[in-house]
Amino acid sequence: MAGRFGRLTDEQIEQKRVDVQERNSLNAEKKAETLFKEFLSQCDGVQSTNFYEFSKEDLDRHLKNFYFNARQKSGEMYRVSSLQHYRYSLN
């Protein structure tokens, strides 16, 4: 019969912690990429949302506009910390 508490080794605990961090990072990256692509799709003159192919100058210009113009679905502005998370996730 299994006890109430597990008996994970230090190595198993560390691996679970790393797995959760990696999964959270991937989710954050996907969310940031989706939001930025949605923004690009609504920008005038943008032919493609594949920002990986943008020149450095175009990417800088679009990111600047994104950070200043991004809004939550409710229309409210994002908190600075939220925009920083998007920035780190898009890097």
How many other C-beta atoms are found inside a 10 Å radius of the C-beta of residue 21? 10
What confidence score (pLDDT) does residue 19 get? 78
Mean pLDDT by 10 residues, the chain (91 residues): 80 82 84 92 86 92 92 92 90 79
Q: Are 63 and 90 contacting, i.e. CB atoms less than 8 angstroms apart?
A: yes
What confidence score (pLDDT) does residue 2 get? 65
Angle between helices 10-41 and 80-90 (to 10 degrees): 100
What confidence score (pLDDT) does residue 46 get? 84
Could you write out the DSSP letters of every residue in 30-86? HHHHHHHHHHHHTSTT---S-GGGS-HHHHHHHHHHHHHH-B-TTSPBPPHHHHHHH
What confidence score (pLDDT) does residue 24 get? 80
